[in-house]
Amino acid sequence: MASTNDVVIKIGTVNGTGSASANGLLRKAIFRMGVPVVGKNYFPSNIQGLPTWYEIRVTGDGYSCRSDRVDIMVAMNAQTYARDLAEVEPGGCLIYDSTWPRSSLLNRDDITIIGIPLSRMCNEHFDGARARILMKNIAYVGAIAALLDVDLEIIKNLLEETFSTKQHLIASNMEAIHLGYNYASQNFPCPLPARVEKMDATKGHIVIDGNTAAGLGCMYAGATVGAWYPITPSTSLMDAFRTFCSRYRVDPETGKRTYCIIQAEDELAAIGMVLGASWNGARSFTPTSGPGISLMSEFIGFAYYAEIPAVIFDVQRTGPSTGMPTRTQQCDLISCAYASHGDTKHVLLFPADPEECFYMSPQAFDLAERLQTPVMVLTDLDIGMNDWMIPELEWDESYVPDRGKVYSAEDLEGMEKFYRYLDVDGDGITYRTLPGVHPKGSYFTRGSGHTKLGAYTEDSAEYQEVIDRLLVKWETTRTMVPDAEIRYSKFNKAAILTLGSCDGACKEALDRLEKQKVGLNYCRVKAFPFTAAVREFIDQHEVVYVVEQNRDAQLRTLLINDIEADQKKLVPVLHYDGMPINAGSVVRGVLEEISKGRAA
Amino acid sequence: MTYIAKPKIAHPSLPKNELGLTTRDYEGVVSTLCAGCGHDSVTAALIQAVFELDIEPHMLAKMSGIGCSSKTPAYFVSQAHGFNSVHGRMPSVTTGAYAANRDLTYVGVSGDGDSLSIGVGQFVHAIRRNLNMCYLIENNGVYGLTKGQFSASADIGSKPKKGLPNQQEPIDPASAALALGATYIARSFSGDKEQLVPLIKGAIMHSGFSLVDVISPCVTFNDHEGSTKSYAHTREFYKHVANIDYIHPSEEIKASYAEGDAMPIHLHGGDTIVLRKVDRAYDPTSRAEAFKLLRERYNAGEITTGLLYVNDERAEMHELMHNIDTPLSQLPYEGLHPGGDELQKLQSRYR
């Protein structure tokens, strides 16, 4: 049941009608009232005309995942009216455009139906088809503002910020707000019992999506070359990088750029460009999604064996194949971990939200250059494209990029001879050189069999020596990747182990289970290979519920493969319908297992 | 064996270039290709070209994909950095490498399988970007390492060692490059070093994408009677249309050229090439004429060689993107981010 500052608003519209800015306005206004919000966009793989929804979860408790109920439905799309109506929680309400009558068949007694003649009012007050459609969206924001008691002054401020250079739009938008607000106030008891009340819980926070945060992180990491092929849901990452670079990386006098973004002909070329640029000493990256990883796999294996840094963002979407491009999943764990033919394994980072997208970006470049290997940052559509409340991002001015083991011209000058793949330090990481730095630094980069000196070989022992040394590097990697987030109490025999965007749902689930006297410990892995702490955590429990968003329990497989975790202990709790995971599905999954006799 | 280094004994009488280096300093390891392979002649021409251009060996990047041709970067300029990438993907790696460091000289060596089949997409798009590189195709119409399958450049009617003649339309890299907007297009023959060396030099000095399509016969799988890529067939049907002389910036144009036969072209870097036309009416700065010539001569069964087309007006990749002159890989980190205070400010729109 909804209560004050615990309300879920879902707005169903038709895509391409400009509802995104209206929905954003409402979400921001509530956030500015000091109340935590979650914004989720459920959109079709389409440009215009298909159903789309935006969901605002008002959560005074500050939870970060999607809710499992809808309290207020704004049903603006006749095509989905029936299912939108059915989705409303008993006791909730449905707002619809009463300009045209709705069939009495589509009615419910257990919810409040609020008809507002949005089209009629907007047609009377505004000129032009486009303006009327856009203002209808703004008008429903006004109506919700009245029903939930959202501060109109804040809405006005937001419009003033948005349209600071287009004054006339402030007045017309406010007019539309008042149309909805006044009609609702005059015809319905406002505000509703479950409403929004000012708090002080959003100070020092921002609301941002993960792709924007990652693009920003790449700029702060000092990336200079970005190569990509557009693919949903990763496209906005490069868009963000481009936006930030066009602001901060263009010489005001000459207009010349200190960044190079190349839209490649496909993902095969995109990763090839990243490798070429990294080989030459630039920090270089590519954002993509699952199908792109499939195409990049050959080159990823090459980079593993030839030991070339690369940063790849995989904003995962629902597979297999084209799957559902605008729905979320964590389904590329195995294909990324072992991308390419032959014996390969790759470093993966698992940010949980946009905050970690930002901080893990420089970390990914540091690891890639330190380890001279591809590092893949696995986010997903939920993190990448939805609106998350996170603490304001801060920059550590003392940060110095870790460029790894690179011999300088001076180093090379003093050496008798340079060999590319000699394990000088015994950590499995060899020294490299950059082309053009010094004649003694030259070497031949190849994906064919090579010796520790860098020469071509078909000799068994020489080949195996290098491929075995890469295992030494893998163990070094294990000590360098970010450690897991662990909440441990010795009184609990069972635990949840998860990754990435499941974090919010799992933490909320832990709270709910606690209320039902089910105490569980918690481990969120942040990287592959898994650290020693992850192994220890599993050892400490009788049962570990592995929560992840794919059908085949891929994280569980990686745990068994990489650290030989006892597979009998690892109980999969899976969510893979394409919608972001919520606390309810975690609670249900765990309780179901407990009811079968598993440890709690 | 590709890892056998050649003994470095330079005869004192060997000529030296401006860097004081001899051609021996531009050699690589011993070739493992078949005796008589055209590719080894192309390697020799490349060594001669970079020697004569006074390129510092470590400022040269040798790029390749997979195949017989793509092995050759190991056989020249050992002190240059080599990148033997994956099949058909040399152009993308070179694009990224060039994006990061525009100061190096990029020579890509590819084959007809690498460029016209598996890698045709990357070949096409490197041209569209006017990537500043010299792109050599060692073209023999056949897959050697997998023992004799036709490639996409095989002519209709050309006979394999076993089986039926090719019936599919060939892809001519020069015509394709012309259609796609390449700014320097040449064709030559591995057996004609006199023509090939200046064409490679011009290609390296040209600012933008330079294609040199070299007919380079495969002695093992495609040098028999009935093959249109054999030594015998190439020698019989190949015709020069416009050769070039490369003029070093420090030299004056000494040779005398009959008017109408010669056309000096000034390159971006201050160098000049002089076109020596065999066909007086031919204008290699005209894309339309180049198309016509290539098609007409091909229909007549001829292999047209020389500098087929040149356009030194079009900006290369970095210029098209308005990128800074300093190599991106050499920019100090401090200038690449606006700092913590600005991070605070830019977040106002997310509050």
Chain A touched by B3 (CB under 8 Å): yes
Q: How far apart are CA A372 and CA A306, in angstroms?
A: 9
For A382-421, the DSSP string reads HHHHSBEEEEPP---TT------SB--HHHHHT-S---TT
Structure tokens at A506: 């799992």
* Domain count within chain A: 4
Q: How far apart are CA A68 and CA B125, in angstroms?
A: 48
What CA–CA distances, in Å, run from B32 to B29, B40, B68, B83, B114?
9, 9, 9, 18, 19
| Pairing, β B149-150 against β A88-97 | unpaired
Low-confidence ranges of chain A (pLDDT < 50): none
Chain A touched by B30 (CB under 8 Å): no
* Residue in A32, A393, A439 closest to B347 by CB: A393
* Residue in A244, A277, A394 closest to B97 by CB: A277
Contact yes or no for A277 and B339 at CB 8 A: no
Query: Which residue segments constitute the domains of chain B, with CATH numbers given?
Result: 23-347 (3.40.50.970)
Chain B touched by A438 (CB under 8 Å): yes
* Residue in B56, B325, B333 closest to A222 by CB: B333
Contact A97, A118 (CB under 8 A): yes
Contact yes or no for B95 and A273 at CB 8 A: yes
Evaluate whether residue A338 is within a structural domain: yes
| Residue of chain A with shortest Cα separation from B336 | A222
Chain A touched by B15 (CB under 8 Å): no
Contact yes or no for B92 and A276 at CB 8 A: yes
Structure tokens at B31: 């070739």
* Residue in A220, A271, A445 closest to B83 by CB: A445
Tell me: do A189 and A287 sit in the same domain: no
Chain B touched by A280 (CB under 8 Å): yes
Note the pLDDT of residue B256. Answer: 60
pTM above 0.80, yes or no: yes
The enclosing domain of A18 has a CATH number of 3.40.920.10
In chain A, residues with a C-beta closer than 8 Å to the C-beta of B96 are 225, 227, 262, 272-280, 284
Tell me: do A275 and A357 sit in the same domain: yes
Q: Which of A389, A442, A452, A457 to mutate to test the interface with B (most CBs of B within 10 A)?
A: A442
Query: B255 vs chain A: nearest CA distance in angstroms?
Result: 35
Tell me: do A420 and A380 sit in the same domain: no
Query: A295 vs chain B: nearest CA distance in angstroms?
Result: 12
Quote the strand ranges of chain B, DSSP E: 60-64, 81-84, 105-111, 133-139, 142-143, 149-150, 184-189, 209-215, 238-247, 262-266, 272-277, 303-310
Evaluate whether residue A398 is within a structural domain: no
Last residue of a domain, one of A425, A445, A480: A480
Note the pLDDT of residue B1. Answer: 39
What CA–CA distances, in Å, run from A316 to A42, A56, A67, A585, B302?
15, 22, 21, 20, 53
Note the pLDDT of residue A229. Answer: 98
Tell me: do A194 and A212 sit in the same domain: no
The single residue listed with the structure tokens 């429903």 is A140
Tell me: do A229 and A95 sit in the same domain: no
Chain B touched by A259 (CB under 8 Å): yes
Q: CB-side exposure of A453: number of CA atoms within 13 Å?
A: 6
Q: CB-side exposure of B299: number of CA atoms within 13 Å?
A: 6
Last residue of a domain, one of A391, A422, A451: A391
What are the residues facing B64 on neighbouring strands?
A: B84, B109
* Residue in B83, B99, B344 closest to A273 by CB: B99
Chain A touched by B124 (CB under 8 Å): yes
Chain B touched by A226 (CB under 8 Å): no
**Which residues fall within 8 angstroms of residue A58, CB to CB, at 6 or more apart?**
A5, A6, A7, A8, A9, A30, A35, A36, A37, A148, A196
How is the beta sheet containing A444-446 ordered, strand by strand? A444-446, B81-84, B60-64, B105-111, B133-139, B209-215, B184-189, B303-310, B238-247, B272-277, B262-266
Q: Which of A206, A260, A419 to mutate to test the interface with B (most CBs of B within 10 A)?
A: A260
Chain B touched by A417 (CB under 8 Å): no
Surface of B (298-327) touching A: CB under 8 A: 318, 321-325, 327
Chain A touched by B84 (CB under 8 Å): yes
Note the pLDDT of residue B3. Answer: 52
In chain B, residues with a C-beta closer than 8 Å to the C-beta of A270 are 92
Residue A101, preceding bond cis, omega within 30 degrees? no
Q: What share of residues in chain A are helix, strand, coil (percent, to 5)?
A: 40, 20, 40
Q: Which of B66, B114, B123, B337 to mutate to test the interface with A (most CBs of A within 10 A)?
A: B337
Evaluate whether residue A397 is within a structural domain: no
Inter-chain CB pairs, A–B, below 8 Å: 222
pLDDT digits (tens, 9 = 90+) for B141-167: 999 889 889 999 999 999 998 899 999
pLDDT digits (tens, 9 = 90+) for A127-136: 999 999 999 9
In chain B, residues with a C-beta closer than 8 Å to the C-beta of A265 are 121-122, 124-125
Structure tokens at B144: 């050697």
Tell me: do A124 and A220 sit in the same domain: no
| Residue of chain A with shortest Cα separation from B55 | A436
- Helices then strands, each counted (H, E), chain A: 19, 21
Structure tokens at A564: 């030989």
Query: B73 vs chain A: nearest CA distance in angstroms?
Result: 9
In chain B, residues with a C-beta closer than 8 Å to the C-beta of A220 are 337, 343
* Residue in A31, A262, A436 closest to B99 by CB: A262
Chain B touched by A393 (CB under 8 Å): yes
Chain A touched by B32 (CB under 8 Å): no
Evaluate whether residue A258 is within a structural domain: yes
**Which residues fall within 8 angstroms of residue A278, CB to CB, at 6 or more apart?**
A284, A308, A309, A310, A368, A369, B96, B100
Q: Which residues of A313-340 are buried (b: 16+ CB within 10 A; e: fewer)?
A: bbbbbbbeeebebbbbbbbbbebbbbbb
What CA–CA distances, in Å, run from B197 to A443, B148, B213, B230, B305?
26, 29, 13, 21, 13
Tell me: do A44 and A134 sit in the same domain: yes
Note the pLDDT of residue B258. Answer: 64
What CA–CA distances, in Å, run from A146 to A2, A28, A122, A184, A328?
17, 16, 18, 6, 33
Tell me: do A225 and A186 sit in the same domain: no
Full pLDDT tens readout for chain B, 351 residues: 345 666 667 778 899 999 999 999 999 999 999 999 999 999 999 999 999 999 999 999 999 999 999 999 999 999 999 999 999 999 999 999 999 999 999 999 999 999 999 999 999 999 999 999 999 999 999 998 898 899 999 999 999 988 999 999 999 999 999 999 999 999 999 999 999 999 999 999 999 999 999 999 999 999 999 999 999 999 999 889 888 888 877 776 555 666 667 788 888 777 888 888 787 788 899 999 999 999 999 999 999 999 999 998 999 999 999 999 999 999 999 999 999 999 999 999 999
Contact yes or no for A269 and B92 at CB 8 A: yes
Contact yes or no for B58 and A397 at CB 8 A: no
**Which residues fall within 8 angstroms of residue B255, CB to CB, at 6 or more apart?**
B245, B274
Tell me: do A138 and A238 sit in the same domain: no
| Residue of chain B with shortest Cα separation from A251 | B324
What CA–CA distances, in Å, run from A521 to A425, A524, A542, B22?
39, 10, 11, 71
- In the three-class reduction of DSSP (H, G, I as helix; E, B as strand; rest coil), residue B157 is classed as coil
Surface of A (168-197) touching B: CB under 8 A: none
In chain A, residues with a C-beta closer than 8 Å to the C-beta of B68 are none
How many C-beta neighbours within 10 Å does residue B208 have? Answer: 26
Tell me: do A344 and A282 sit in the same domain: yes
Contact yes or no for B328 and A258 at CB 8 A: yes
**Residue numbers of the domain that contains A451:** 409-480
In chain A, residues with a C-beta closer than 8 Å to the C-beta of B330 are 281
The H or E element spanning position A88 is: strand A88-97
Evaluate whether residue A600 is within a structural domain: no
For A185-253, the DSSP string reads HHHS-SS-SS-----S--TTEEEE-HHHHHHHHHHHTT--EEEE---TTTHHHHHHHHHHHHHHSB-TT
* Residue in A269, A284, A444 closest to B82 by CB: A444
Tell me: do A347 and A431 sit in the same domain: no
Query: A468 vs chain B: nearest CA distance in angstroms?
Result: 22
Chain B touched by A32 (CB under 8 Å): yes
Q: How far apart are CA B301 and CA B335, in angstroms?
A: 58
Last residue of a domain, one of A169, A203, A237: A203
Evaluate whether residue A178 is within a structural domain: yes
Residue type, A321: S
Contact B156, B167 (CB under 8 A): yes
Alpha helices in A442-499 (DSSP H): 460-480
Evaluate whether residue A512 is within a structural domain: yes
Note the pLDDT of residue B259. Answer: 61
Evaluate whether residue A356 is within a structural domain: yes
Contact yes or no for A256 and B93 at CB 8 A: no
| Whole-complex ipTM | 0.96
Structure tokens at A121: 């009012």
pLDDT digits (tens, 9 = 90+) for B112-128: 999 999 999 999 999 99
Query: B141 vs chain A: nearest CA distance in angstroms?
Result: 24
Tell me: do A156 and A17 sit in the same domain: yes
**Residues B296, B300, B306: CA angle, nearest 5 degrees:** 65
Chain B touched by A37 (CB under 8 Å): no
Contact yes or no for B100 and A276 at CB 8 A: yes
| Residue of chain A with shortest Cα separation from B100 | A277
Note the pLDDT of residue B2. Answer: 46
Note the pLDDT of residue B255. Answer: 55
Contact B116, B173 (CB under 8 A): yes
In chain B, residues with a C-beta closer than 8 Å to the C-beta of A266 are 121
